[in-house]
């Protein structure tokens, strides 16, 4: 029997017109935008600021105006030529010249395919609709120390003169967080001149509306979003709350009392933005969802408006290097603007971070000291006493009252409103998942519940404001509560009611929702961590009352902390480039502070460099810069290597046993300082030079060499470089490192085990080894026995020997390599495609928020791949299967070439960007044929998300032999037209072996009716022997074995056993 659960990156609901017909496309042309133009057109001077100077693009210069006018003429010429190609006039909805040289136009798929071949078109992509992704926050990241001045001789810095652009849902114009004069009497200075405003606040703008009243704090507001997919605008007023919350967190005015009016309770706290005296411009880019074309238009306008920092807390999608939004951010960087983005809310699974551009700051979310704590108290009944349970919420107290489980009413997750009088004031237990948390409170309240206990699913606690008294508790506490409920009778308890606490011990815990790395290119993402849980800030006006507040959680709340920090740094260090600002924030962050949601130590894929401390960043002694030219050249699809980028982090997904990087640091100080560099973490890393002296402005290039030959194979290894100095007031500087210790040239898989982690003197220990080479050759195992053990030579597996002089167990032998074949047409189980629907198999239900980028974890399987037995796999909407669940996430829409060391094991019949939101179906069945059984996974009439050509919906299957290692790709209707962004292939985990039939235009695409067979195998050798611990041996026994192949490649593994005398004897062991 198969079981399933939904996994992967939640995708947004799509515009209903997702299949064929006319759609909105972003067409990027080959010429550089104004921000990136470095000359070359006769008669037109370069406009890009000189690299490494921190200078901003001068949008009012004669050169910028002249080049922009020329670019507009070029765009029109290109559009005329494109119109001739499709035999109709193409009129742009928008034209962009500042951040990106592109137009937004309406095309049908055939026209889009035709335009993609035009030599003046650099890239074309269909518009995407993406989801949106403080009181103690500023203090926790050190902003308050900058407000008071870094030192007695330094004036306080609150962001004066800095303009921050907020790309979000608009802004609450009337909120005191955005008033021109603060409650303590500070009056903001308008950099445009008092009374001069931008966008809809500008009387000369065609959309001017006096009801949108800007001021000397809020100096502009634009609306680029269409309301609810209609061709009309709803103005820049925030009607959702998200944008106001973000803007207030970045630069909201200090307020002595911000009151949250929850349905059952009111709570107050003082709040302030991180850069409270910075100016703001609001760019409304979201209606129902947030379209890429609207964000690109806002970024283009932000350059023209002269902002210093932009914040976007929205998903991204598209290609990491070539996507329209990514390219617009490259132009933003070239213009000298610091860009900050939320890392996403799709955690905690690996590879859940979005396709973040490597040139922006990407921010993870963690808790901070202030928390909204609620508790379950006064338990009675049951067989055993139950202690208080601490959770989170924003509600009043209730009870004591009877406690019941919604599962007893047939709906453990409380997915639907319960019938009236289901309960009469009881406190009802619900399990988190499937629908919104607050909706569950509504559903039990409809049934007469007096309170709610929401049991978490591992995603992390959130302080929600429910319509009834409620508390959100951990999964572990929920299990204990339900176990108590299963005993005795008369179970009662009370909800204590929310209290606001300030406890440093609760801070810096990563939110379960915060997206994790690794990224699909060799750059660590997220970059850094900031507070993003239970953040109190302004929200949209409630009716006629603009002074409203909300408590929100998300990476959307974390990124504005970093944007505010960047504004402070821009004010203090106006010559620092955006990349240098990012390096200061990352290098001086606190890596040890951050813990995962399970309170384990976080690694760089969880929280990047650590939690930022802007006061330390302002004093950073080292900076790192990278040019836009080098960023663009690092695109791996054009032969670039992201590992070469001069970033304050180090990643290599194909490190194998050794890998290297080069980095360059520059002194930010006015005096000479001696620096030393060391490595802390997995493996061995050498840095040259390991010590050096830097004078003012001097640079030093560093060689970093990692040796992972003595760490576990087939795993990510983590650590960090630590730069230390003895200068007064100069903080240390760190760089996180992540390297994978297996790669495409890894010769083998080597596993070592011991049957006991703890033992007593005289006990027997059994050591086991599994050798599974990917390549044929001769292999040698040597295992020097640790002190304090005696070998039982009769236990040696066949072929093993013992050298008594060196006390070493040895084995050697020739082994066949692993095999992965694909494309065979021999002995298929079926000769043609036939839909499972014809046999009455129902479509698999995929939730709306998973129908684009999501997938399904299927359990209860029995098959083999790469020599391993698997009982589960991840089935992706996007045309691929992952044996096992290593990634905890479905493959993304951005298909990759295979083998790829950054990807898990994959079977990819047609990996491309598909969607089952509005049409198409996924089906799965066990099909018996003759004496065999097969697992059949079907994509039935599934359309491409972006039908760039006249492609028809795709139908294909993967048949997997139950209990075996064979599989088949069975193709039904695969009419693709001109579409070529697709991968057909398979690979072992980590890219150790791979077969590629087709990738993005290269190779042979399968045709309708094809049946292609595949299979994998790995020759393996299992060995073991036993030893007896000496009667007087105590302490830790470490056994380290070495396996080598004929080319000199090696693996070294260790096992540990702790041998201790017993603390007590039972009555049968008493001496």
pLDDT tens-digit series, residues 564-619: 999 999 999 999 999 999 999 999 999 887 777 667 788 999 999 999 999 999 99
Pairing outcome for strands 361-366 and 932-942:
unpaired
The H or E element spanning position 482 is helix 475-485
User: Is the pLDDT reported for residue 744 higher than 70?
Assistant: no
pLDDT of residue 112: 81
pLDDT digits (tens, 9 = 90+) for 788-818: 999 999 999 999 999 999 999 999 998 877 7
pLDDT of residue 597: 63
- CB-CB contact of 867 with 818 (8 Å): yes
∠ CA 891-895-901, nearest 5°, is 75
Enumerate residues 6+ apart whose C-beta is below 8 A from 156: 146, 147, 148, 149
- Mean pLDDT over 130-151 rounds to 62
User: Is the pLDDT reported for residue 846 higher than 80?
Assistant: no
- CB-CB contact of 519 with 320 (8 Å): yes
Q: Where are the beta strands (DSSP E) in 656-698?
A: 658-667, 673-681, 684-688, 691-694
Q: How confident is the model at residue 629 (pLDDT cuts 50, 70, 90)?
A: very high
Residue 39 token pair: 């000359």
Helix (H, G, I), strand (E, B), or coil: what is residue 581?
Answer: helix
Task: Name the residue ranges covered by the structural domains of the chain.
Answer: 23-130, 139-365+507-623, 370-500, 649-740, 748-818+1020-1059, 819-1017
Alpha-carbon gap, residue 300 to 331, rounded angstroms: 9
pLDDT digits (tens, 9 = 90+) for 658-689: 899 999 999 999 999 999 999 999 999 999 99
Residue 463 token pair: 């302080």
pLDDT digits (tens, 9 = 90+) for 540-561: 988 888 999 888 888 999 999 9
Q: How confident is the model at residue 955 (pLDDT cuts 50, 70, 90)?
A: very high
Alpha-carbon gap, residue 60 to 70, rounded angstroms: 15
Fold category of 370-500 in CATH? Glucose Oxidase; domain 1 (3.50.30)
User: Is the pLDDT reported for residue 1064 higher than 50?
Assistant: no
Q: What DSSP character marks residue 187?
A: B
Higher pLDDT, 939 or 271: 939
- How long a stretch of residues is the chain? 1071
Q: Is 54 left (phi over 0), alpha (psi -120 to 50) or beta?
A: left
Three-state SS sequence of 713-743: CCCEEEEEEEEEECCCCCCCEEEEEEEECCC
∠ CA 101-106-108, nearest 5°, is 120
Mean of the per-residue pLDDT values of the chain: 87
Q: How confident is the model at residue 628 (pLDDT cuts 50, 70, 90)?
A: very high
- Mean pLDDT over 766-785 rounds to 86
pLDDT of residue 6: 45
Enumerate residues 6+ apart whose C-beta is below 8 A from 180: 187, 188, 215, 216, 217
pLDDT of residue 149: 63
Higher pLDDT, 48 or 227: 48
Q: Is 639 left (phi over 0), alpha (psi -120 to 50) or beta?
A: left
- CB-CB contact of 840 with 923 (8 Å): no
User: Is the pLDDT reported for residue 1048 higher than 70?
Assistant: no
- Mean pLDDT over 156-185 rounds to 92
Q: How confident is the model at residue 742 (pLDDT cuts 50, 70, 90)?
A: low
User: Is the pLDDT reported for residue 145 higher than 90?
Assistant: no
Residue 281 token pair: 């411009």
Residues identified as active-site: 168, 242, 556
pLDDT of residue 450: 96
Residue 1051 token pair: 């693996």
Alpha-carbon gap, residue 596 to 348, rounded angstroms: 9
pLDDT of residue 495: 95
**Quick one: which of 601, 586, 606 has its CA closest to 512?**
606
Q: How confident is the model at residue 999 (pLDDT cuts 50, 70, 90)?
A: confident
- CB-CB contact of 529 with 612 (8 Å): yes
Pairing outcome for strands 163-168 and 309-312:
parallel
Alpha-carbon gap, residue 768 to 351, rounded angstroms: 32
Tally the C-alpha atoms within 13 A of residue 352's C-alpha that lie toward its C-beta.
Answer: 28
pLDDT of residue 823: 83
Give the range among 693-697, 758-762, 970-974 with minimum mean pLDDT: 758-762
User: Is the pLDDT reported for residue 949 higher than 60?
Assistant: no
pLDDT digits (tens, 9 = 90+) for 298-318: 999 999 999 999 999 998 877
1040 forms bridges with which residues in the sheet? Answer: 1054
User: Is the pLDDT reported for residue 997 higher than 80?
Assistant: yes
pLDDT of residue 950: 60
Q: Same CATH fold, 748-818+1020-1059 and 649-740?
A: yes
Class of domain 23-130: alpha beta
pLDDT digits (tens, 9 = 90+) for 686-699: 999 999 999 999 99
pLDDT digits (tens, 9 = 90+) for 486-531: 999 999 999 999 888 777 777 778 888 888 999 888 999 999 999 9
∠ CA 954-958-964, nearest 5°, is 175
pLDDT of residue 287: 82
Give the helix ranges, DSSP H, for 588-718: 604-607, 614-618, 628-633
- Find which of 102-116, 393-407, 994-1008 is predicted with most confidence, using mean pLDDT: 393-407
Does the 748-818+1020-1059 domain belong in CATH 2.60.40.740?
yes
Fold category of 139-365+507-623 in CATH? Rossmann fold (3.40.50)
What is the CATH number that goes with domain 649-740? 2.60.40.2310
User: Is the pLDDT reported for residue 983 higher than 70?
Assistant: yes
Alpha-carbon gap, residue 529 to 846, rounded angstroms: 32
Q: Which residue has the tokens 């440093």?
A: 504
């Amino acid at each position: 029997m198969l079981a399933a659960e939904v996994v992967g990156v939640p995708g947004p609901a799509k515009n209903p017109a997702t299949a064929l017909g006319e759609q909105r496309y972003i067409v990027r042309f080959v010429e550089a935008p104004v921000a990136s133009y470095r000359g070359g057109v006769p008669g037109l001077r370069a406009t890009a600021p000189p690299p490494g100077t921190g200078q901003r693009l001068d949008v009012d210069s004669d050169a910028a105006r002249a080049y922009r006018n020329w670019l507009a003429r070029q765009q029109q010429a290109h559009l005329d030529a494109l119109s001739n190609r499709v035999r109709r006039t193409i009129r742009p909805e928008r034209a962009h010249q500042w951040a990106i040289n592109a137009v937004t136009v309406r095309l049908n798929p055939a026209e889009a395919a035709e335009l993609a071949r035009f030599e003046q078109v650099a890239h074309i992509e269909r518009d995407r609709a993406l989801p949106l992704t403080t009181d103690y926050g500023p203090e926790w990241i050190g902003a308050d120390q900058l407000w008071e001045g870094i030192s007695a001789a330094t004036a306080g810095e609150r962001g004066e003169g800095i303009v921050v652009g907020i790309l979000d849902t608009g802004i609450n114009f009337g909120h005191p967080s955005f008033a021109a004069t603060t409650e303590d009497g500070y009056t903001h200075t308008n950099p445009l001149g008092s009374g001069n405003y931008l966008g809809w606040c500008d009387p000369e703008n065609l959309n001017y509306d006096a009801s949108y009243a800007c001021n000397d704090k809020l100096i502009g507001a634009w609306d680029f979003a269409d309301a609810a997919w209609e061709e009309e605008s709803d103005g820049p007023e925030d009607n959702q709350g998200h944008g106001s919350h973000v803007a207030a967190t970045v630069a909201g005015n200090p307020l002595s009392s911000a009151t949250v009016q929850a349905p059952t309770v009111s709570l107050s706290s003082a709040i302030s933005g991180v850069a409270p005296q910075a100016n703001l411009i609001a760019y409304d880019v979201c209606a129902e969802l947030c379209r890429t074309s609207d964000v690109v238009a806002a970024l283009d306008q932000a350059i023209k408006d002269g902002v210093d920092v932009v914040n976007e807390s929205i998903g991204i999608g598209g290609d990491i290097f070539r996507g329209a939004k990514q390219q617009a951010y490259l132009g933003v960087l070239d213009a000298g603007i610091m860009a900050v983005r939320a890392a996403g809310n799709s955690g905690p699974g690996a590879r859940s971070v979005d396709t973040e551009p490597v040139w922006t700051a990407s921010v993870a979310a963690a808790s901070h000291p202030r928390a909204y704590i609620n508790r379950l108290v006064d338990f009675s009944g049951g067989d055993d006493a139950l202690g208080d349970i601490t959770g989170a919420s924003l509600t009043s107290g209730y009870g004591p009252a009877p406690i019941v489980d919604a599962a007893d009413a047939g709906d453990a997750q409380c997915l639907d409103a319960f019938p009236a009088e289901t309960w009469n004031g009881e406190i009802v237990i619900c399990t988190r998942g499937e629908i919104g948390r607050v909706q569950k409170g509504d559903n039990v309240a409809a049934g007469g519940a007096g309170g709610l206990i929401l049991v978490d699913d591992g995603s992390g606690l959130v302080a929600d404001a429910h319509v009834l008294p409620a508390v959100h508790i951990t999964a572990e506490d929920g299990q204990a509560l339900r176990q108590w409920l299963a005993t005795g009778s008369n179970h009662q308890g009370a909800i204590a009611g929310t209290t606001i606490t300030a406890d440093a011990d609760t801070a810096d815990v990563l939110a379960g929702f915060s997206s994790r790395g690794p990224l699909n290119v060799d750059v660590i993402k997220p970059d850094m961590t900031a507070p993003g849980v239970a953040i109190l800030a302004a929200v949209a006006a409630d009716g006629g009352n603009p002074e409203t507040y909300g408590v929100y959680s998300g990476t959307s709340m974390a990124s504005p902390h970093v944007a505010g920090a960047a504004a402070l740094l821009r004010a203090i260090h106006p010559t620092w480039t955006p990349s240098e600002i990012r390096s200061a924030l990352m290098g001086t962050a606190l890596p040890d502070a951050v813990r995962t949601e399970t309170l384990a130590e976080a690694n760089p894929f969880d929280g990047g460099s650590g939690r930022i401390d802007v006061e330390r960043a302002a004093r950073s002694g080292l900076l790192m810069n990278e040019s836009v030219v080098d960023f663009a050249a690092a695109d791996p699809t054009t032969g670039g290597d992201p590992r070469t980028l001069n970033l304050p982090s180090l990643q290599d997904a194909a490190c194998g046993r050794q890998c290297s990087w080069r980095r360059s640091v520059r002194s930010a100080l006015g005096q000479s300082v001696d620096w030393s560099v060391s490595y802390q973490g997995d493996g061995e890393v050498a840095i040259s030079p390991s010590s050096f002296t830097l004078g003012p402005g001097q640079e030093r290039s560093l060689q970093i060499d990692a040796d992972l030959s003595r760490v576990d194979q087939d795993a990510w290894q983590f650590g960090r470089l630590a730069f230390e100095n003895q200068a007064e007031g100069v903080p240390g500087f760190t760089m996180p490192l992540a390297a994978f210790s297996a790669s495409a040239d890894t010769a083998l898989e080597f596993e070592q085990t011991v049957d006991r982690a703890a033992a007593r003197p005289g006990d027997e220990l059994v050591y086991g080894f599994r050798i599974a080479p990917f390549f044929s050759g001769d292999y040698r195992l040597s295992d020097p026995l640790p002190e304090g053990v005696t070998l039982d030579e009769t236990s040696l597996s066949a072929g093993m020997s013992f050298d008594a002089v060196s006390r070493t167990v040895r084995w050697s032998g020739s082994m066949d390599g692993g095999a992965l074949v694909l494309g065979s047409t021999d002995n298929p189980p079926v000769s043609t495609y036939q839909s499972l629907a014809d046999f009455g198999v129902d479509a698999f239900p995929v939730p709306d928020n998973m129908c684009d980028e999501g997938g399904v974890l299927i359990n209860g399987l029995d098959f083999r791949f790469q020599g391993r037995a698997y009982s589960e796999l991840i089935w992706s909407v996007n045309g691929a299967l992952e044996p096992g669940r290593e990634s905890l996430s479905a493959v993304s829409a951005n298909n990759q070439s295979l083998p790829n060391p950054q990807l898990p094991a994959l079977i990819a019949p047609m990996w491309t960007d598909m969607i089952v939101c509005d049409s198409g179906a996924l089906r799965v069945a066990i099909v018996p044929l003759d004496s065999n059984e097969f697992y059949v996974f079907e994509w039935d009439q599934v359309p491409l998300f972006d039908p760039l050509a006249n492609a028809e919906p795709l139908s294909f299957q993967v048949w997997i032999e139950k209990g075996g290692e064979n599989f088949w790709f069975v193709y039904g209707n695969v009419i693709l037209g001109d579409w070529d962004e697709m991968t057909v292939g398979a690979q072992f985990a980590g890219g150790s072996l791979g077969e590629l039939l087709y990738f993005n235009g290269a190779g042979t695409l399968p045709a309708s009716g094809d049946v292609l067979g595949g299979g994998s195998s790995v020759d393996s050798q299992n060995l073991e022997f036993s030893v007896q611990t000496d009667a007087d041996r105590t302490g830790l026994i470490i056994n380290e074995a070495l396996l080598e192949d004929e080319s000199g490649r090696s693996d070294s593994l260790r096992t540990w056993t702790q041998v201790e005398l017993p603390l007590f004897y039972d009555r049968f062991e008493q001496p």
